Amino acid sequence: MSFPAAARLTLRDTQLRRNLAKATSTIREKRARAVGELDDWEALREAGEAIKAYTMATLDEQLERLEASVTRAGGTVHWARDGAEANAIVAGIARGQGAREVIKVKSLATDEIGLNKALEAEGISAIETDLAELIIQLAHDRQSHILVPAIHRNRAEIRALFERTIAAGRQLGDEAAAIADAARLHLREKFLSVPVAVSGANFGVAETGTVVVVESEGNGRMCITLPEVLITVMGIEKVLPRWRDLEVFLQLLPRSSTAERMNPYTSLWTGVREGDGPREFHLVLLDGGRTDVLADPIGRQALHCIRCSACLNVCPVYERVGGQAYESVYPGPIGAILTPQLRGLENAPTLPWASSLCGACYEVCPVRIDIPRVLVHLRERVVREVKSPIAPEALAMRAAGAAFASRGRYERAQRLARFGRGPLARAAIPGWTAMRDLPEPPKETFREWFRAR
Amino acid sequence: MRLALFVTCFNDTLFPATGRAVVELLERLGHEVEFPFEQTCCGQMHGNSGYAAQAEPLLERFGRVFADHEVIVSPSASCVAFVRDRRPELSGRLFELTEFLVDELGVIDVGASFPHRVTLHPTCHSLRLLGVGDRPRRLLEAVRGIELVPLPAAEECCGFGGTFAVKNADTSMAMLSDKLRRVLDTGAEVCTAADNSCLMHIGGALSRQRAGVRTLHLAEILAAQE
């Protein structure tokens, strides 16, 4: 579905509108306060941007360093060209362990490649252990936020869902803690019994081979320490050259995403260690269209994203349409520039227009991704590479361009516009007047007044 | 000072009163306003919509038309932001009206009188692309008789966004609904901004709702002597 069509549907969901408006306005204010505490926030953003730009410029080298470091530390590195390859690798490892179930740390990369479905086809069920991901999984719903996938659900809806599923037959009451406890009970059993875990990665340090997961609930810590085998699926853009780069990102990420000075759980692991944690560690490095994105000198900055979701929380479009209208695991402003590049412009041609170019996203992005600039760049590419040059819009734009190119034609067009008859007016007016009045046409143009004075 | 007015195609055609107000205001402050008649459009609509092949010649044209003018003033934050971004070499000579008044002329009190209750929509491109900050508010505060009331969540987009308002009309309207609610809550009689594009959007819906609130470009308030 096109973005405007999908948005038309989600805009009608009054519960979604209310939940999102409340949630995003709260987190917006909290983020602003958390960021305001740091005198060097702008310098940190610049450092984050510089490290990411350097990483992308040397990506091949960094990935080989990462592979060598992980291997040296006792891990195994797998290279996956696309989602299908990555899924097959994960399924193969799980099958090799005879696993019927795997537990999962919240991971966008595995959502992107549809890992859960692929495992299900192999008879392996993937159990989400992040609270919000669990809610989505139990409700057979789709995520609507990068960090808070169930942001469109409120407490009453979640209680009802749990009472239907993992807490069947029990009355959970109205307290958030009691509702969360039902999930805790359900998950503890899984943590202690399932032998294989799958995670994503926030960062992978090339220098040391260390993989980092940043989280709030502690479920990730359980998943990466208790099972026998740990498999991490990591997008290749998540590599960082040096250990000390973490200093920058571990400040930028929590303040931008949850408005915390530091998130509750930061787990770092380097390969395997005798008698401590998993005895097998597999790192699956996923391309999945990322090297194509890297080839676009303007669009590639979308790969700098650290998935904090600050841009979603400030976006006036996202706040109203919700994440599902973007039809991708990456919604909001970052999704509008990432999804079309990862999937190919022809497969998401309306997403670059899912923005009023208000610039709020760029203002908060912790790694200074100039999202409005990339949006405009992708619009240019869609116009050039995907759209028909004889589509009504393209013809109207060309006609307007020709009119503006000469004073004579422009002044004649002005006279037409006064009566609402220009080609551009004809194309644009129905969309406009469905909901708004047009201004009264003035009796004379400015230039006519200026000439006559 | 002699300066050239870039009125913008939008104001020239649809909102000539804004251009007249800029001329009257700057002349009242003792300056000489020229209007290069060859000017048409800066290319913003094409540029922001992805039609670079049409935007580039218009930017070229803009550069030629204003080549001999030392100072160019425009009552549109979004057009100024677009030209500065695409033609950085023009940045030093091209000013948005409130920037020009406050920074170049050093005036806050422009001698206006406007005895009405007014709220200011700061506009995304004024705030985030140009960084005009509180200049529009300071200029309005110095107007005699004005009752300036703050607009809640003022920095949030009204939902115009050029062709966005038509291509994503439903989302645009959902954004506008919230903006309208806040404008109406202020009890203002006039909603003003430094850009008529946002105002055409906000004003079009206020008019449709018969809301009893009108939109007026900031230049028209600064020119007023009621």
H or E segment to which residue A204 belongs: strand A203-205
Instruction: Report the C-alpha gap between A27 and A29 in whole angstroms.
Output: 5
Whether B26 and A393 have beta carbons less than 8 Å apart is answered as no
Same-domain check for residues B13 and B44: yes
A433 pLDDT band, cuts 50/70/90, is confident
**Residue at B173 is within a domain:** yes
Q: Are B146 and B116 in contact (CB under 8 A)?
A: yes
Asked whether the beta carbons of residue B47 and residue A376 sit closer than 8 angstroms, the reply is yes
Query: What is the predicted pLDDT for the residue at A151?
Result: 85
Q: Which residue among A405, A439, A447 places its CB closest to the CB of B57?
A: A405
CATH topology classification for A1-37+305-387: Fumarate Reductase Iron-sulfur Protein; Chain B, domain 2 (1.10.1060)
Q: Which of A321, A431, A447 sits opposite B12 (nearest CB)?
A: A447
User: Could you report the per-residue pLDDT of A265-302, keeping only the tens digit for each?
Assistant: 999 999 999 989 999 999 999 999 999 999 999 999 99
Whether A320 and B207 lie within 8 Å, measured CB to CB: no
Residue A57, Cβ neighbours under 10 Å: how many?
12
Give the domain-ending residue among B51, B79, B104: B104
Listed by number, the residues of chain A in 411-440 with a beta carbon closer than 8 Å to a beta carbon of chain B are: 414, 417-418, 428, 431-432, 434-439
- Shared domain for B49 and B84, answered yes or no, is yes
Q: What is the predicted pLDDT for the residue at A356?
A: 98
| CA nearest neighbour of A117 among A108, A109, A126 | A126
In percent, the amount of chain B with pLDDT more than 90 equals 100
Convert the pLDDT of each residue in A52-93 to its tens digit.
Answer: 999 999 999 999 999 999 999 999 999 999 999 999 999 999
For residue A306, is pLDDT > 60? yes
Based on the fold, state whether residues B122 and B98 are members of the same structural domain: no
- Based on the fold, state whether residues B61 and B154 are members of the same structural domain: no
Q: Tell me the average pLDDT across A30-43.
A: 97
For residue A426, what pLDDT is reported? Answer: 59
Taking the C-alpha atoms of residue B117 and residue A154, their distance in angstroms, rounded to an integer, is 39
Question: What Å distances lie between residue B204 and A425, A432, A446, B160, CA to CA?
Answer: 15, 9, 21, 11
Cβ-based neighbours of A390, under 8 Å, separated by 6 or more = none
Q: What is the pLDDT of residues A106-117, one digit of tens each?
A: 999 999 999 999
Residue B112 falls inside a structural domain: no
**pLDDT the model gives residue A415:** 86
Chain B residues with beta carbon closer than 8 angstroms to that of A405: 40, 57-58, 61
Average pLDDT over residues A408-430: 75
Cβ atoms of residues A167 and A182 within 8 Å: yes
Asked if the Cβ–Cβ distance from B208 to A435 is below 8 Å, we say yes
pLDDT for the residue numbered A441: 81
Q: Give yes or no for residue B183 having a pLDDT over 90.
A: yes
- Find, among A355, A345, A351, the residue nearest to A384 by Cα: A345
What does the pLDDT read at residue A434? 81
| Mean pLDDT lowest among A134-148, A231-245, A346-360 | A134-148
Q: What is the mean pLDDT of residues A418-445?
A: 75
Stretch A189-196: mean pLDDT: 94
Same domain assignment for residues B84 and B121: no
User: Do B45 and B143 belong together in one domain?
Assistant: no
- Identify whether residues B96 and B7 lie together within a single domain: yes
Smallest CA-to-CA distance from A135 within A165, A178, A109 is with A165
> What are the DSSP calls for A273-325, one per residue?
BTTBS-SEEEEEEE-TTHHHHHTSTTGGGGGG-----HHHHH-HHHHHH-GGG
A78: left (phi over 0), alpha (psi -120 to 50) or beta: beta
B91 and B164 both lie in a single domain: no
Whether the pLDDT of residue A358 is over 70: the answer is yes
pLDDT digits (tens, 9 = 90+) for B11-45: 999 999 999 999 999 999 999 999 999 999 999 99
- Which residues, listed in sequence order, are joined to residue A78 by a DSSP beta bridge? A284
* Residues sharing a CB contact under 8 Å with residue A305, sequence separation 6 or more, in sequence order: A334, A338, A367, A369
Q: From chain B, pick out residues whose CB is under 8 angstroms from the CB of A432.
A: 165-166, 169, 204
Interface-testing mutation among B32, B172, B199, B217, with chain A (most A C-beta atoms within 10 A): B172
Are A441 and B14 in contact (CB < 8 Å)? yes
Q: Which of B80, B104, B128 is the last residue of a domain?
A: B104
Interface of A with B in 349-408 (CB under 8 A): 352-360, 362-363, 376, 378-383, 394, 397-398, 400-401, 403-407
Per-residue pLDDT reduced to its tens digit, B76-113: 999 999 999 999 999 999 999 999 999 999 999 999 99
Q: In Å, how far is B166's CA from the nearest CA of chain A?
A: 5
Pairing of the two strands A210-215 and A203-205: antiparallel
Strand ranges across the sheet with B147-149: B147-149, B117-120, B190-193, B214-217
Confidence of residue A418 (pLDDT cuts 50, 70, 90): confident
Q: How far is A196 from A100, CA to CA, in rounded Å?
A: 9
Look over chain A and give the mean of its residue pLDDT values, rounded to a whole number: 94
Both B171 and B83 in one domain: the answer is no
User: Is B158's pLDDT higher than 90?
Assistant: yes
The percent helix, strand, coil of chain B (3-state, each to 5) is: 50, 15, 35
Q: Helices A371-385 and A332-343 sit at what angle, rounded to 10 degrees?
A: 40
A chain contacts of residue B9, beta-carbon cutoff 8 Å: 404, 410
pTM for the whole structure: 0.95
Provide the percentage of residues in chain A whose pLDDT is more than 70.
Answer: 98
Q: Is the pLDDT of residue B184 over 90?
A: yes
The residue ranges of every structural domain in chain A are 1-37+305-387, 60-288, 392-452
Out of B104, B138, B170, pick the residue that ends a domain: B104
CA–CA gap between residue A118 and residue A84 (Å, rounded): 8
Question: DSSP alpha helices (H): ranges in A201-243?
Answer: 219-225
B216 and B153 part of one domain: yes
On chain B, the residues whose CB falls within 8 A of the CB of A316 are 156-157, 159, 175
pLDDT at position A431 over 90: no
Q: What is the mean pLDDT of residues A184-196?
A: 94
Does B111 fall in a domain?
no
**Which CATH entry fits the domain spanning A60-288: 3.40.80.10, 3.40.50.10420, 1.10.10.10, 3.40.390.10?**
3.40.50.10420
Cβ of residue A8 closer than 8 Å to a chain B Cβ? yes
pLDDT in the model for residue A347: 97
- Taking 90 as the threshold, does the pLDDT of residue A386 lie above it? yes
Q: What percent of chain A has pLDDT over 90?
A: 86
Within this chain, do residues B100 and B128 fall inside the same structural domain, yes or no?
no
Q: How many residues does chain A have?
A: 453
Q: Do A407 and B48 touch (CB under 8 A)?
A: no
Indicate whether B74 belongs to any domain. yes
Do B212 and B122 belong together in one domain?
yes
Q: pLDDT tens digits for B55-69?
A: 999 999 999 999 999
Q: In whole angstroms, what is the distance from residue A157 CA to residue A204 CA?
A: 37
Average pLDDT over residues A430-444: 84
Model confidence at B178: pLDDT above 60:
yes
Nearest to A436 among B12, B15, B208 (CB): B208
Nearest CA-CA distance, residue B111 and chain A, Å: 23
- Around Cβ B160, how many Cβ atoms within 10 Å? 26
Q: Where in the sequence is the domain holding B99, given as residue range(s)?
A: 2-104
**Total domains, chain B:** 2
Question: Has residue B110 been placed in a domain?
Answer: no
Q: Among all residues of chain A, which has the CA nearest to that of B11? A: A446
ipTM (interface predicted TM): 0.97
pLDDT tier for residue A429 given thresholds of 50, 70 and 90: confident
Cα distance between the two ends of chain B: 26
